[in-house]
Structure 1
Amino acid sequence: MSYTSKLPPSWNDGPPPRKVEIDLSSPGLAVVELERLLFTGRAIVSHADEVWPRLYIGDKHSAVNRADLSQHRITHILNAAHHKLNEVPAMYGSMGVTYMGIQARDATDYDMSCNFQMASDFIHSALNGGGRVLVHCHVGVSRSATLVLAYLMIRQKLRLVEAVCAVKDNRGIVPNRGFLRQLCALDRELFPGK
């Protein structure tokens, strides 16, 4: 199948979209091809990067840096590496930031797909209300990226390859192989027969 990268019209000021062909019907081969595509992404040069209008992927540092949160005018934080022993930073309350934590492991055998809908709903609600969302984990390349890709697929109706192309040019991401398989399954679920 052939996909052309999609970005919102206001964001597509760069070079013309390119066609990327990856057959998602064979999960094993698709993961290898997706990894090749991901390795063509932008290098990570900052703690957080805007990957879709008002939607950022970042690392744990970006989530506790008051100056960065203020600079990006973040109103919502989705922590994909929440641990039940960690407390929500007190500064979020004083900054008016809405927080959601997901206890996810960055492991190929972890079922991240059980969080796709909940995370997508949180991001969608925040963006529809005019908010700005930071999705983060420890490094900001696997768990957080997986949830953002799922959001783009579920709510923005992008195919997986389109979502990867939209994100990777703004931030280098590398979801683990288990997460990539789960995203392939989501693509088949959302776009059957395509």
Structure 2
Amino acid sequence: MSSEEESVDQTPPTCSLLGLLLKNRRPTGAVNEVWPDLFLGNAATARDKTLLQNLGITHVVNAADGPRHIDTGPRFYQDTNIQYHGVEAADCSGFDLSPFFSETAEFIHGALSQKGKVLVHCARGISRSATLVLAFLMIKAGLTLVEAVEVVCRSRNILPNVGFLKQLCQLDSTLALQKGKA
């Protein structure tokens, strides 16, 4: 087996990821800093402008954007200096969130590069938003999926749906192949 094939084989099966996600769970709050200046939270956090100001949040990623979901949007934040990025995603295993991985990772990376602080949220802050944070850590911080899960789970309980986990596994394999070719 070549080293490229071995690196691809390091992506764990979904059932192993679920085990990792469910291990050592403890109470977590409405919002948690999961990476330096990167926060993962719920809808109530995103709607609390005073809390966002106190946390120093400069950028918000809404993984449940749109009128049928959490309709904050850029207008909601127009009286603040918060920059907004919306992803209209459904929290169901059949929804393909992967087309949003790179653009959201770029938005988060750009914000952090400018010394900003980013809140990524959805309704409960455990599936859609967590998936986008994991993708960011894999794409921009160079972590494997397992490493990204371990980092986030140190600060917050997350549980992306099975469809999102499969998309993250695919991303993990693709990134591993790219590293192998580099």
> What are the ranges of 5 or more consecutive residues in structure 2 without an aligned counterpart?
1-6
- Aligned pair partner of 1:189 in 171, 174, 182: 174
Question: 1:153-184 CA deviation, whole Å, 9 max, x = no partner?
Answer: 00000000000000001000000001000000
- Aligned pair partner of 1:64 in 19, 43, 47: 47
The 8 Å contact of residues 42 and 170 in structure 1, kept in 2 or not, is answered as no
Partner Cα distance (1:150, 1:45) in 2: 21
Paired residue for 1:98?
83
Letter in 1 for 2:32: D
Superposed displacement of residue 185, structure 1: 0.4
1:114 partnered with 2:91:
no
Question: CA 1:87–1:173 in 2, change beyond 3 Å: closer, same or farther?
Answer: closer
Paired residue for 1:124?
109
Percent identity between the aligned chains?
A: 42
1:43 partnered with 2:26:
yes
Superposed displacement of residue 26, structure 1: 9.0
Superposed displacement of residue 71, structure 1: 1.6
Give TM-score, length-normalised by structure 2: 0.87
SS of corresponding position for 2:158: coil
Give TM-score, length-normalised by structure 1: 0.82
Question: 1:50-102 CA deviation, whole Å, 9 max, x = no partner?
Answer: 00000000000000112210121000000000014635264522220001111
What's the C-alpha RMSD, in Å, of the aligned pairs?
2.0
Partner Cα distance (1:89, 1:186) in 2: 29
> What are the ranges of 5 or more consecutive residues in structure 1 without an aligned counterpart?
1-22
Question: 1:22-65 CA deviation, whole Å, 9 max, x = no partner?
Answer: x97498x7111101101125434311100000000000000011
Letter in 1 for 2:56: R
Partner Cα distance (2:44, 2:85) in 1: 17
Question: CA 1:62–1:37 in 2, change beyond 3 Å: closer, same or farther?
Answer: same
Paired residue for 2:15?
32
The 8 Å contact of residues 120 and 151 in structure 1, kept in 2 or not, is answered as yes
